[in-house]
Amino acid sequence: MSESPKTKFVTAGRDKKWTNGVVNPPVQRASTIVFDTVAEKQQATINRANKTLFYGRRGTNTHFAFQDAMTEIEGGAGCALYPCGTAAISNAILSFVETGDHILMVDTCYEPTRDFCDTIMKKMGVETTYYNPTIGDGIRELIKPNTKILFLESPGSITMEVQDVPTLSKIAHEQDIIVMLDNTWGAGVNFSPFDFGVDISIQAATKYIVGHSDVMLGTAVASEKYWPPLREQSYLMGQCVSPDDAYLGLRGIRTLDVRLRQHAENSLKVAKWLQSRPEVDHVRHPALETCPGHEFFERDFTGGNGLFSFVLKSSYSKATTALLDGMKHFSMGYSWGGFESLILANEPKSFNSLRTVANPNFEGTLIRLHIGLEDTDDLIADLEAGFARYNALILEKEATA
Ligand SMILES: *Cc1c(COP(=O)(O)O)cnc(C)c1O
């Protein structure tokens, strides 16, 4: 009988080699690893890329346990660790491009991913074309002879468009283009990247893997073909993380599945309540039909999480400010994936710099929510009070118009 995927969140990475017989692997700190004989040192050198203690930058048993766990939950042949998600993205890209190459980047990518392409890639002579997240088959027309990477992020940052990953991967592979996915939203639970043709799956482990808003961490899990070059190039660029951070990433995996299920249940409840609100134009939650690409969510994902957006009918910023300023349970703050609820607003004009080809041209302000593990009745009451503050200012404006 094959094991339920849920079980692997408990068992992944817990090889006795790393744990030394306790439940969690000890935090093993090291720069220098010492050898007693020439033969031992030679053995370590030969196996240095293969989870053998060699030198701190290659990792210790704590790192090896976390790397094993990531490949067990996401698939793939190996996992490179980075000090944050942004480093994982930039190093994965840098490991495979050279001057004269071309990248196809989804227009709804995380903002620093766009900035990296527009500055460092540009400076290196690597060209970027942004494509619409819902392009599907149309990606064919954007492929050039020098296209090296097709980069996806699904759902997209802020506007939440879900991509047709298998179709895009299939077309890319016809031309030997490397498919990279920012899989932070899927979190290694809800979307199996290697089943859908992804070659390198990247996560800001800062988000749900760590899950407690207290560690910066990035991961990139690669297929058999791309694992050796990713590992060696990232190593040359000096990418490594503290064993304490690797430990906390691994510990987060133990509760990842249960946390995500609760985040998903809570967020769907809040999203459905928002759909009934007269202030709301539409809700962009992948599990709801009003989210672009919802059909791909239904087809390819096994569940959701706490992060989604909704668009207000109005873009009156004084009213939005009144809504945001008085919240009790929702704090304003970057990042997401912790146990706590967060709220951020994007006015329509903000998309002029965030999008090249897929500006949604909203009339109203977009609000992004991260729904935490609080009781949803408390969260809904908080939003309801926020709408009362919001409506008072909308009415005031209408009265003076
Ligand atoms: C936060 C985030 C990142 C960057 O992760 P950091 O650890 O903050 O550098 C990358 N991609 C997505 C989708 C994110 O939300």
334 in the same domain as 228? no
The residue segments making up the domain with residue 243 are: 5-254
Q: Where are the alpha helices (DSSP H) in 150-215?
A: 165-174
Number of the ligand 1 atom closest to the C-alpha atom of 185: 13
Percent of the chain with pLDDT over 70: 100
Tens of pLDDT, residue by residue over 268-279, are 999 999 999 999
131 in the same domain as 247? yes
164 in the same domain as 39? yes
Q: What is the pLDDT of residue 237?
A: 97
Domains held by the chain: number:
2
Mean pLDDT of 168-174: 98
Tens of pLDDT, residue by residue over 308-332, are 999 999 999 999 999 999 999 999 9
At 398, give phi and psi (nearest 5°). -60, -35
Q: What is the pLDDT of residue 362?
A: 98
271 in the same domain as 388? yes
Inter-axis angle of helices 376-400 and 243-275, nearest 10: 60
Count of C-beta atoms within a 10 Å radius of residue 28: 19
Tens of pLDDT, residue by residue over 205-232, are 999 999 999 999 999 999 999 999 999 9
Tens of pLDDT, residue by residue over 61-99, are 999 999 999 999 999 999 999 999 999 999 999 999 999
The CATH number covering residue 297 comes to: 3.90.1150.10
- The confidence band for 1, taking pLDDT boundaries of 50, 70 and 90, is low
Burial class (CB in 10 A: 0-12, 13-18, 19+), 352: exposed
Q: Which one of 238, 254, 270 terminates a domain? A: 254
- How far apart, in whole angstroms, are the C-alpha atoms of residue 401 and residue 396? 9
Q: Which two tokens stand for residue 352?
A: 């002029």
Mean pLDDT of 37-58: 96
In the block, tokens 């766990």 appear at: 69
Q: What is the pLDDT of residue 93?
A: 98
229 in the same domain as 200? yes
Q: Which one of 202, 227, 254 terminates a domain? A: 254
Task: Please determine, for residue 14, whether its predicted confidence score (pLDDT) is greater than 70.
Answer: yes
Do residues 343 and 367 lie in contact, with contact meaning Cβ atoms separated by under 8 Å?
A: yes
Ligand 1 in contact with 182 (CB < 6 A)? yes
Q: Which one of 228, 254, 280 terminates a domain? A: 254
241 in the same domain as 266? no
80 in the same domain as 228? yes
Pocket test residue of 84, 117, 184, 370 for ligand 1, highest count of atoms within 8 A of CB: 184
- CB half-sphere exposure, 242, CA atoms < 13 A: 6
Do residues 175 and 137 lie in contact, with contact meaning Cβ atoms separated by under 8 Å?
A: no
> 138: helix, coil or strand?
helix
Number of the ligand 1 atom closest to the C-alpha atom of 218: 7
Query: Is-cis flag, bond preceding 155, omega within 30?
Result: yes
Ligand 1 in contact with 206 (CB < 6 A)? yes
263 in the same domain as 149? no
379 in the same domain as 271? yes
Q: What is the pLDDT of residue 361?
A: 97
Q: Mean of the per-residue pLDDT values for the chain?
A: 97
Give one DSSP letter per residue of 215-255, joined into a string.
Answer: ---EEEEE-TTTHHHHHHHHHHTT----HHHHHHHHHHHHH
- How far apart, in whole angstroms, are the C-alpha atoms of residue 86 and residue 44? 31
Enclosing H/E stretch for 281:
strand 280-284
- How far apart, in whole angstroms, are the C-alpha atoms of residue 186 and residue 376? 22
Task: Please determine, for residue 13, whether its predicted confidence score (pLDDT) is greater than 60.
Answer: yes
- How far apart, in whole angstroms, are the C-alpha atoms of residue 376 and residue 273? 10
Percent of the chain with pLDDT over 90: 98
Amino acid identity, residue 155? Answer: P
- How far apart, in whole angstroms, are the C-alpha atoms of residue 348 and residue 359? 9
Ligand 1 in contact with 85 (CB < 6 A)? yes
The CATH number covering residue 48 comes to: 3.40.640.10
Rg of the chain on CA atoms, in Å: 22
- CB half-sphere exposure, 19, CA atoms < 13 A: 14
330 in the same domain as 237? no
Task: Please determine, for residue 305, whether its predicted confidence score (pLDDT) is greater than 90.
Answer: yes
Mean pLDDT of 233-239: 96
Task: Please determine, for residue 2, whether its predicted confidence score (pLDDT) is greater than 80.
Answer: no
Q: What is the DSSP letter of 139?
A: G
Distance 35 CA to ligand 1 centre (A): 39
At 92, give phi and psi (nearest 5°). -65, -45
N- to C-terminal Cα separation, the chain:
69
Mean pLDDT of 96-123: 98
Mean pLDDT of 288-310: 98
The residues with which 153 forms a beta bridge, in sequence order, are: 182
Tens of pLDDT, residue by residue over 322-367, are 999 999 999 999 999 999 999 999 999 999 999 999 999 999 999 9
pTM: 0.97
Q: Which two tokens stand for residue 370?
A: 């991260």
Task: Please determine, for residue 245, whether its predicted confidence score (pLDDT) is greater than 90.
Answer: yes
Q: What is the pLDDT of residue 401?
A: 81
263 in the same domain as 236? no
260 in the same domain as 236? no
Ligand 1 in contact with 216 (CB < 6 A)? yes
Q: Whose CA is nearest to atom 1 of ligand 1?
A: 335
Q: What is the pLDDT of residue 67?
A: 98
